[in-house]
Each structure stands twice: as structure tokens, then as C-alpha cells.
Structure 1
Amino acid sequence: MLFDWTPQAVVFDCDGLLMDTEPCWSVAETELFARRGLPFGPEQKALVIGKSVAAAADTMADVFGEPGSGPAIADELLAMVTDVVSAKAEAMPGAHELVDLAAAAVPVAVASNSPRALLEAALERGGFEFSISVAGDEVTAPKPAPEIYLTSCARLGVAPASALAFEDSMTGLRSARAAGVPVVGVPTLSGTEFPADVVVSSLRDAGLLAWLRRWRQPRLPPA
């Protein structure tokens, strides 16, 4: 069941939520693993999905048996995925309608674990414009720490409990929850537990869109 309240602001994740960039990441990640003679499948994807580039690279360094090589792997990965995103990434089905409906009623922001350059590349590729955005390399501790959401809410001028987050990964969900922001989950990985406040299978969910349309309607006083 959807919420019976209207948030004062909305914060959207980007990768896997607004933009279908996960296939782009998978292309780059598969190549990184292949260069080391290793397979890349669902088990490996689960280790890195939703993490910041630095955190994902550190995880890969452990898997590769290359201690201390996280920064170099991060540079390699970022260069590869930025090229793929700029050329091939597409907006998720329903993403523009969802953002437009929310932005027509309340202030909105985007909060991503991607570094600024990659976030800008993804948003530009998808045709999204946000006046408020927070990137993973602009905070001390990216998701799953709460800083990205706390910073976003501060810039929006709302209390975290009055905002609403849209997330597709457990990393993002943990970040929003740690900040005290209610979450609508649209999980990228199907068949896994995703304990958001509300879970929908698509941004085009009819109930979700009907709820957002009600945000702009004046509420009658009780009889």
C-alpha cells in the first residue's frame, strides 16, 4: 500500500533508477574481470551494485587478489563506464513522467554514488535537469552512509522524515534509512528481499503514478 501523505520533497537515485546504466556498468565490470581471467555473473554483480566507484573498486581489488590497487581499478572502471554511458545509456521506462509529476508538486533532487562527471554524463544522456544534485565524490562518506541524503535534504530545505527517496539498490536503501528518509523501492535485482517502505516493480506502477498525481490536488477540510 502506498503512503497516505504528501512528502515535502523527493530525492531520486540515478543509476538503475532514473537511468538504465546498470547494463553499462556490467559491460565495464565484465571486461575488467575478463582482463584478469575471471567470470562476471550475478554473484559478482551483487558484490558491487549500488556502491560508490571507490568502494566497488576496493571490492574488486580483493576479488582480484590485488591488494592496494583499488584507486587504479577505480580509474580504469570509471573511464570505461563513462564511455559506455555517454554512448548507450537510456532513461528507465517511466522515469521522465515520474520526475515531472514529482517536480510539479514539490522540490526534487538527485543523489547518486557516482562521481560528478559520471552523474552529469548520465543525466545529460537521459535528458534530465536537476537544480539540486549530490554526487558520490562530493561527500565524505557515500552511500550506504546517510551523508548524501542528509546533504540533499539540507539543500532542499526539508527535514529528512518529510522527504521521500526513490532507490533501486540495497546500498541506497540503507543510506536513505540511515538518514531517516522514507523510501519507495524499485529493486534492480528481482527475487531478493527489499525492505523499503513501499516496493513497486516499475516506475510506471499505476498506483504509484496515481498517488503522485494526487499531490497537486487541494485537500478538502474534514466534514
Structure 2
Amino acid sequence: MTPISRTLSDWSPEAIVFDCDGTLMDTERHWQDARTRAFRDFGLLPPPGFAERAKGVHYVDCGRLMAQETNKPDLASELAEALLGHFLSLVAEDPLTMPGASDFVRLCSRRLPLAVASNCPREVVDESLLRAGLRRYFRHVVVPTVEPGDSGGPRPVPEADGPERTVRPKPWPDVYSTAAELCGVAPAAALAVEDSLTGIESASRAGLRVLGVGPLPKGSDGGQADAWTPRLDSEELLSWTRERVPAS
């Protein structure tokens, strides 16, 4: 685990882009419950270690992975649909923020433009943040405009001016590069805050500095993250923020 003080001590971001699930909102357990329920709907058992492999994966890709690992490739779309349906029900019943997330977002919003870059559908992100009282702190929310393997044309990026564009899901870099652009900064000037290796890869490919948060993924040293913090209310992170992200 690389401390913030070692890798980010002499750098100040001009914008911060947050992942949502598992970073701001405590929804990973909802995804896990939803995966379990979706497997059960079709009489299937989750393969060992599936939760770790599915973390941060777009729900369509997750449905495909569920089908592949249970040798039921024809059920990919049905599993994805069931997965999303169960998740939407669960998150509506119990929206919770991750430890320290609310206070950290409020602290940063007084200093920098903030955005969210998520693999979840837009309505899930907006509803989760609204229920948690956090939506107003983010200038932009960027989500994929096409699903993995979607052959349809591009759809507009919410809140973006100019031509329509295609925004592919993580681990493609699109959500993070678009979020930085909407915040008016170069990717290299923005900090991504992520909890999954899929999201860290996406942000790193987009050219953002990356702060990993939460427990390190099993068998990993943090991948491409520049630094790692166990929680968003860690004293090291708060001290770094007050020093390197001065109040405007």
C-alpha cells in the first residue's frame, strides 16, 4: 500500500473525479446480493471467487461473465437484466455512504470542481447521490453511453456541450477522460478516487492520477494506483487535502 505522502506530496489536483459504487456509496454489498439473487433466479450457483472478479465490472459484462462461468452462454442478457433489476430494488431500499465519503466530498467541493465517473446507469448514480444528499456537490456525472458490445450509435453525454460522442464503460478510459474535460482540466491535472482495479485501470489509461480507497483487492498491490488510503476520513488523506488543495 503506497502512502499518499510518498507519491502525491508535491502535486495539487485541479479537479477530482470520484467513482460511485464502493467509493462514495456502500453499494458493493448490494451488487453482491443482486448477483446472488440473479444466479438463484436461474437455478445457478455463484462460482468460487466470483464476487472479486465481478467488482467494478459493468453490469452487462457481469451478466456475460456470470453466463460464461456457469456454462450458460445463452443466458448472458437475461442474467444482466435480472442483475440490474435486483440491484435497483436493493439500492432504493438502503442507500448508504462509505465511511468518510460525505465529509470528504463536502471538504473538496469548497476547493475544486468535482465529478463522478461510474459504470452504473445514470438513474442509479443520480438516485443514490440524491438520497445520500451528495448530488449537489458534483458538477458532472459521466456514465457509459453505450453498453459493452452495443452496436447502436453514440448517445449524448449528459451535461456535455458540442457533438455527440461514445463513452465506453470502464476499463476503457472514456468516463474519466470525459469527466476531466467537463471539469475544464487536462486529465493529468485531475485526481481519480477509485476502489476497484477495473476503475483504477480506466482512470490510469485516461491519464489521471489515481487514489485507491478501501481494502486492497485480494492478491494485488494496488495496480496502477499512485497511492492508496484505507478510508476517505483517514487523517493522512485529510491532511494532504488541506495542504495540497487549498480552499478557494
Deviation at 1:187, TM superposition (A): 3.8
Deviation at 1:188, TM superposition (A): 4.9
SS in 2 for 1:166: strand
Superposed structure 1 runs of 4+ greater than 6 Å apart:
none
* Structure 1 counterpart of 2:246, from 182, 191, 216: 216
Maintained 8 Å contact 2:38/2:86: no
Instruction: Rate the CA distance shift 1:42–1:93 in 2: closer, same or farther, 3 A.
Output: farther
SS in 2 for 1:69: helix
Instruction: Rate the CA distance shift 1:117–1:204 in 2: closer, same or farther, 3 A.
Output: same
Look up the match of 1:114: 120
Q: Which moved more, 1:132-141 or 1:55-64?
A: 132-141
Matched residue type, 2:72: E
Q: TM-score normalised to the size of structure 1?
A: 0.91
| Identity rate, percent | 38
* Structure 2 counterpart of 1:35, from 41, 54, 57: 41
Matched residue type, 1:80: H
Maintained 8 Å contact 1:169/1:187: no
Q: Which residues of 2 match residues 2-151 of structure 1 at below 5 A? A: 2=4, 3=8, 4-40=10-46, 43-129=49-135, 130-137=138-145, 139-151=166-178
Look up the match of 1:186: 213
Q: Which moved more, 1:154-163 or 1:58-67?
A: 58-67
Maintained 8 Å contact 2:15/2:113: yes
Question: Residues 7-46 of structure 1, C-alpha deviation per residue, up to 9 Å, x if partnerless?
Answer: 0000000000000001111111111223344433760112
Unaligned runs of 5+ in 2: 146-156, 158-165
Unaligned runs of 5+ in 1: 219-223
Maintained 8 Å contact 1:16/1:188: no
Number of paired residues? 218
Q: TM-score normalised to the size of structure 2?
A: 0.82
Q: Which residues of 2 match residues 200-215 of structure 1 at below 5 A? A: 200-214=229-243, 215=245
Look up the match of 1:221: none
Maintained 8 Å contact 1:165/1:184: yes
